[in-house]
Structure 1
Amino acid sequence: MEKLIEKLAIERNRLFVGRSAELDMIHQWIGSLNAPTQVLFVSGIGGIGKTSFMMRALDIAMLANVRTMWIDGRMCTETPTGFMEALFDHMKTIEELPSQRETSLHNLIHEISKGRTLLCIDNYDAILKIDGWLREVFLPRLPSTGVLMLFVSRQNLSESWQHDLAWRNRVSHIELPPLNRQEVTQYGFRTGIKKSVDIERLHTESQGLPLALALTSEKLTLVGQEAWPISLRICAELLREVVSPDLQEVLDLLCILPQATLKQIRRLARSPLNASRLLQLSRISFVRPTAYGFALHDVARHYLMEDFMRRDLERVRSLRKHIVYELVRELQSSDDIERSKHISMLITTCRDAFQLDAVAVFAHDPKQMQMEPFHQQDLPYLKRILQEQASYAVSINTDLVVLQELAEQFPDCIRVFRSKDGTPLAFVAGFYLYDKTTKFHEKHFPEVLEKAYPHEIDTMRTQTIEQANTFYHLLAAASENDPEYRFQQLIGIILADSLLVRSAGVRLVMINTYEGITAILVRLGYKMRPLAGLPDGHPFQYASVRELDWQTSDFGAQILELFECEPRDDKKPSPTNISDKSMISALPLVKDLNRLTQTELAHILGLTGTDLQHAIDQLLWGDPVYPLDQRMQLVLRQLSEAAHLTAEDAADRLHVSRATYFRIRRDALSAMKELLLR
């Protein structure tokens, strides 16, 4: 039987046009048995087809029996350990590695070295904090032949790569251009647009942008070839028009979720997602595959979310709360590797709930949150911004010296937000605490780390970067005089860069006297304590240690509190007191008030027969409420109306296997229990 992944690959290849010269680089590397280990950067504007190019490269490699690995930079912690865990997680899923395998650098290099490998990192700009470690530690440990690293990013090749002489002959950079007229013609023919006048118009108005081409062809397929004029401007209306009504709900889910697994979609969507609808979803031009499931193209997500909030804000809030419950539930049952992933998704999903002085901290438009790598020509601007905020500094002279030496010794740890004309408006600098950076910190801020972490300082002074689990926010500043961005927005961009995905799974620390962001830090779950033990007159004598440990904090509870979701009352019955047997016994009695009142379930819940009847009717016949879905609801109805059925007969009526029936029944009773208590 043909697998879905094979059908998806065939569909992708049918609609993939152009990029011949770029793909030749992939073919040539695969065709050379002793091809040197190389790095290929692929960059370009939103909608230009970067992920499509990566998927085509993966398909080519798989057809040539070259091992493929693929991770999404946004879904792994921006640490060496997080990167290694993400790769092991991928290999565990695809190649069934032992789940308890030690995620060390040595073991990872050993696994990659087993055969010729194409390793792709989508959204590489999300892990730029470890760019230096990848270039200087990870990649040099790879075998000298047989590995092709494909980095996909909006941002171009960084200065550090360009100036690294050792990598000069092993690094190539592709900046994807728009499709030319011949390629647009080819795409038009493959999608059924054959008239030369239509092709010409398509090329002129879309300017060869693949996303615009795909959307237009989908619209023409729906309404017919004579439907011109059609706006080629990407907008929410056009995006929704090319999606069938029964997939609109999934579209809404993907507006809020950064990416969703098939399991999440099936749990959250009210309508079941069968194989046919899944294939239909995967064929939508702006729904992109990810390492874990599906996501909207960034450009499409921005337009759709903006329209969704304008059109039905209450629905957005309700759906987000529904999604948050699901993600918190997954977080609470996840292991250490999955925990970082779920925290990242929760922060992204909830970003507009964080505010600083009534200004949203995390902008909706992802392009407004993009901080970029530091360039040496930025330094005078950053010093000027730092001096503008001298009143907030413990010592402005020390901060200026620290910034200068960071630019010389650790340039990768500085990230910059620029205006449209490229002028730096804000920056943040920080590093993971390990032997080299701890020594740097103690040189400029003596005794501070020692007093803050007396029991850990010896470890910090000796551990390698791969062992580091604490990220220290060292410096940050934002311009207060820019006409386009308010100061609070720039501070929000700094916070977003530090907290949105990048730092999930590690401990975040800042030690300073600045109180301007205390409120938002408390909302995020930071713990505050005074920095005690410093002598009188020390610059940091009155500083506070602000710490958030993603690994140990109950982040799920914090998020539920943020959305004003009331915690369960301890006086209410515990779920452990409601047995499956008590619910199964009550379901067939839903029409008999007297007998329903006498059931164990009514007694535990303290409900009258009428109240319990109403509650069960809602579960059986009302719209499914999370965590109940339609399949679970069918099982509950069957338990209520046909309690006499054997498990085999019940499974047959639902067209599932006996094992699947018991799994759905278990989930249905669990959901019923939770909703009755809620």
Structure 2
Amino acid sequence: MNLRSVEPNSPTPCIVGLTQQLEVLSNWLASPNVNSQIFSISGIGGIGKTTLLTEMAAEARRCSTVTLWMDGQFCLQTPRAFLSHLEMSLETEYGRTRVADTPLLAHVVEELTRQRTVVIIDNCETIDRIDSWLLSSLLPMLVTSTSEFLLIVASRTGLPIQWHTNLVWGNQIHSFALELFTRKEVHEYVQSSGLPPLVQQDIVHKTDGHPLLLALTVDMLRRQGREREDYAQQIPGILSAELLKEATSPYMYEALQMLSLFPAADQTMLNQLLSHPLNALDYTALSTLSCVHTGAGGLSLHQLVSRMLREDYERRDPSHYQMMRSRVLELLMERYPSLNKLLQMQIAAHILELYRDQLPSTHAYTDFTGIRQREVEQQMSFEPGDLPYLQRFLAESLARSDWQSELIENGQYSSLLDDIANYAPAGIRVIRNPDRVPLAFCAGLWLHDQTLSILEQYSPDIRKMLGDPVNSARGCSPEAADTICILLAAVDVGQSSYRPEELGGMLFQSWLIDAMSGLRAIIPTADRQLNMLLPHLGFEESTMPSQPYAREDMHVWELDFRQATFEVWVQRILRQNIRTAGCIPQEAPRILSRDEVRLMLHHIYDDKVLEEMVPLQAMGCEGVRARELVVSILHADPPTYPLTNLEQRILRESYLHKNYRKSELAEALHMSRATFYRHSRQGFIHLGHAFTQRWMALK
């Protein structure tokens, strides 16, 4: 695992993401008088523990400090083995040999206390075998009034509790739990990769900030041809193997695989799905793994580990994965009504993650595929210092003609945002980066007696447009308000860490989760993109009063959980037929992949090849019907969602008409070949969605 930047010709690659830990070491090395200390490095597999130790060893050696490196897999078996490895390191690294008849312990202690010394031990998962001896015998000998000794250890779970409660050493331990890279750190890494900017953006979007995944992905994308494609398929399996080195038992692996499908699960829930149920000892052992956390709902997996296990599971056994995913959904629906609001919101968030492949992934306003939960948790209430940021986002959005409520007259948007911020700030939701800087916002008004005057000032016809929601708000106190009318939304398109549609996905996901606590969100809009998107997010269209002033293209969408149940929402958001209790929900159809669509288009006039395509056979779609449906979609006016006009034209001219070579078509469209192929790839994805939706509607 290499956390360094990957500039091919860089003689001194820089470290990424570990500045704080290295700074603590540098301070210890630079101090003229220091106390003996212990650094404990912990984190899941592939997070960068060994890389950090390597950098720490290099820094210590640059300061002319005696630096010894050992592997805990071999040196932590017994006290004798530990001392023997220290003796060997002293002799190999510094030529210090033991004098005849000198006891081994005395030799090691003398050498380690002679001058400032750093001992680094990687893979310390079994340090508990000798920790009593280390704490009671060796370490006290190394801590004298003149010694300057630093022990640095790395393991997945950190030092055992007895180290932290030790009267002598407990206060000398500095713990560093390594986390995923931030978006800023990922950008820092990929900028020196030599890859094209668009590819760099895609890497940032997909790697979740996991150092090993990032390194493997960059390495893969710098390869060429078939080898690169094969390697892409292998990455989830490679990471799963790395992350699960602790799970030595196949039964434990199965338990982790099932746990990846839950937000949290206790022993009883897991055992309902496992072919080999866990006993009490097994469940306790499962809870001690570094990627497992214990909470109120039972055990839960580190989010990245959970995602990688699911992806590997689905790749290896897609039918079993889909069946077990449905079983989990059924169990969660059964538990939902009896849980408190916090746990209900956690389940709602998890369902969005578990079925993220059925949410809009390439929509102009939202993309849920790259959202990490820790990013979603950066949503916060409005603060007065946010307003200049939000006004800038709003102005840029208006300049691009992105959606803002058509109920508000042009020129009034900025004033409306000012009034909401000054008089009704509870209606503003802000998404921030880790430094608390705003990245996106949406703003509306909670409908109650005190906000109706603001709403009617900017939209005099709002009462006639919305009808009952506005009438019901008259006389309602702020505390009793349960309906918000969303009027403004914008994202920061100037920053480079997130795509605009990712920030839009964060905003929508936060509303979907919050609505589960019994709220109603209303969005009036005439925006075509938004009108196509909202039904996919569980919004339902409400009937507007028939008025002569009303715009024909205006729609009012509601997401109402004041009365709706979790089951209703799941049915709406996933487009599944949720049956009565005890039955497994039916899975939504699998969307044709980009490569499957490309193959289908390449052989669009070859009935024999189309008939033999396994994905089409699984859908029950005959070759002739598939061609007719593709031709219909590529000639439809307007294009079938989510295809755009440009994507539709590129695919139609490239595969149906074939009047141009691809280079000629790119030139005719006034775009570079790279841009042309990027739109083509996006078109394959969108056509896969459109084809699947149309076919399922015809069946």
TM-score by length of 2: 0.44
Q: Please identify the structure whose Cα radius of gyration is greater.
A: 2
Question: More relative contact order in 1 or in 2 (CA 8 Å, sep 6+)?
Answer: 1
TM-score by length of 1: 0.45
